[in-house]
Structure 1
Amino acid sequence: MTAPMPGKIVGVKAAVGQAVKKGETVLVLEAMKMENDIVAPQDGTVASINVSTGDAVESGAVLATLN
């Protein structure tokens, strides 16, 4: 999962090893004073979370990976 726009991570809703369903929120990205849910593109297991709450990210940055 990649950042759709530059912003700041304000929430991590899933943990490594957690099973997620398509559409389930994994991270919350704040951009332009709006919170955007970063959702799982498919069912899977969270393989890695590459950011922490408070991190600034650029557009296209890899935020998390799924198996």
Structure 2
Amino acid sequence: MASEITAPLPGKIVRMDIEVGSSVEEDMEILAIEAMKMENIIYAPCDGTIEKILKKVGDEVEEGDVIATVA
């Protein structure tokens, strides 16, 4: 079953260190969202492989938006 990587706050994706097929480990830095001129690091929720990426660098996200899935 896939786990979702969601935006914890509204902002703009400024860095993404993953691509489809990337292996990730729980708590690994995978992307950054800029909000109020501060960069917020987002971490992988579990071990697995990136299955799908729904957003890209430069996209604005709202709290709860799904950014990617890990299987």
**Would the TM-score normalized by the shorter structure come out above 0.5?**
yes
1:1-67 matches, within 5 Å, as 1-67=5-71
SS, match of residue 66 in structure 2: coil
Distance 2:23 2:50 in 1: 6
What amino acid maps onto 1:57 in structure 2? Answer: V
Displacement over 3 Å in runs of 4+: none
Q: Which runs of 5+ in 2 are unaligned?
A: none
Q: Which runs of 5+ in 1 are unaligned?
A: none
Distance 1:47 1:58 in 2: 21
CA positional deviation for 1:37: 1.1
CA-to-aligned-CA distance 1:9-64 (integer Å, 9 cap, x gap)? 00110111011011111111111111111110111100111111110011110011
> When the two structures are superposed, what TM-score results if normalisation uses the length of structure 1?
0.94
Distance 1:31 1:9 in 2: 9
What amino acid maps onto 2:54 in structure 1? Answer: N
Larger strand fraction of residues:
2
